[in-house]
Structure 1
Amino acid sequence: MSDVLDVLIPTCNRASALAVTLCALAAQTLRHFRIIISDQSDGPGIVAAPEVQAVTRFLRVQDIDVVALRHLPRRGMAEQRAFLLAQVTAPFCLFLDDDVIVEPSLLARMLDTIRRRRCGFVGSALHGLSYLGERRPAHEAITFWDGEVLPETIRPGTQAWERHHLHSAANLYHVQRRLELTVRDARCYRVAWVGGCVLFDTGKLRDCGGFDFWPDLPADHAGEDVLAQLRVMARFGGCGLIPSGAYHMELPTTLPVRSVDAPQLLWP
């Protein structure tokens, strides 16, 4: 059976975090997927790190293909994501950050959701579990998609843009616990965007241009993933999945300089 999903991981100088992320992928109930890593690390690259090599060998004996590519020079995250998207041959692609732990059923649940909803993307927002003891009721607003996931045009500064607060800290985790939601009664909800773990319909992402806007951005930018989602959501719709099943390792960013925010510059 051919792979139905390509998991795309951009990485830079995070060998241990990447190894943990790969271990979580090895435990997935979904088996027919391929992992593509684009490594922009210093020196020989982290794909050569012993912990990454060990997990890569483990994945391959589980019949999960791993393609590890060196991609230099660094020209910004939008170009890095465009490079990864160019490698995709599967009908669906998951952009997954290199510091994310996913529950064993998550890939299967996301794939089932995007097939049923027929939208452009489904995102699983990242829980920051260090914030479990911190409640932010003002940032726990959620609006569900009870029917078809429809296209939406979301712009910075609008009321819909404020949905992004739900994905900060452990807000979404508190919501799913309060509503007593389980994977058996998972729901889709309206988003502004989702960071770190987003599954796209490959054809729909490419129809919207993918990350072809990368030459219009300086290398030191942020929000390229947001801009791509906004373009897909405006044509095909997009949603978040709750319970999420994705957890952030909360490591320091590898992109400390972010001079330009892509949606602010390029989104009409």
Structure 2
Amino acid sequence: MLIRVEACGVCRGDAKIIEGAASEYPRIPGHEVVGVIDAVGGNVTKWEIGQRVGIGWHGGHNHTTALSIDGGYAEYMAAYEDGLVIIPNEISPEEAAPLLCAGETVFSALRNSKARMGDLIAVSGVGGLGHLAIQYASKAGFRVAAISRGSEKEKLAVQLGAHYYIDSEKEEIGEALQRLEGAKVIIATAPSKKAISPLINGLGKDGEIIIAAVSDEPIEWSAMDFLKGPYSVKGTFTDINEMADAINFSVLTGVRPIIELFPLEKAQQAYEKMMAAKTHFRAVIQISQ
């Protein structure tokens, strides 16, 4: 199908393409794409012209969007029918785009975690992923503790649904979470070993850390750290089978990303600002309406 792109999120995963990981070049980045179907191939059976759809990392036909096929930093892109999900009219293209990767990643992390309603969820990092994780956890019925450096994000974290705020500059994270009886699950969204390593001390019995942050740094844990719980650690990544559910849950409960908009001609500026961690939560390229 041919998609007329309306909006495309700017994600840290785009760095993989820009730094040389794509199958061939030139290659168009962008894997948080929302647009309208403009034309369909002769064998397409699932979709019709005029439908609003989204496409994430999973490009269909075993392709990865922006790695083995072109992505959404463009006015149009080609897509396979098995890589798409429907985007309801109740959410704007600009707000839907970041949910196709950042939002779905933390949504599925929570939904597939050990936690049950009423348990304590801690979200480490109140940034592009963390501000969505706080909303999802709160809307799903968890007690939520937000963790960040400094007090500047405390008010926003509470507005997003956090019940507690832990300033890691003023108190030790593990001790603060243990005063709350320990977290059943900690979602690590801050891409730094200094932010991730202390989290294990804040888990409750049989708790787990789910790493959603993109970082190549080794994490400093010993075998004894795991034996004390016992604790478990796992990673999470976007899953096309969870994508539609993440979008629909967001529409149902009012979860929305905080976004900063850029026109297509400023895509390079949007990317550089995102990589410098200066974006107001999620950068989105607004292409057409």
- Taking structure 2 as the reference length, what is the TM-score of the superposition? 0.29
Question: Where is the strand percentage greater, Structure 1 or Structure 2?
Answer: 2
Q: Who wins on radius of gyration, i.e. which is larger? A: 2
Question: Where is the helix percentage greater, Structure 1 or Structure 2?
Answer: 1
Higher relative contact order (CA 8 A, sep 6+): 1
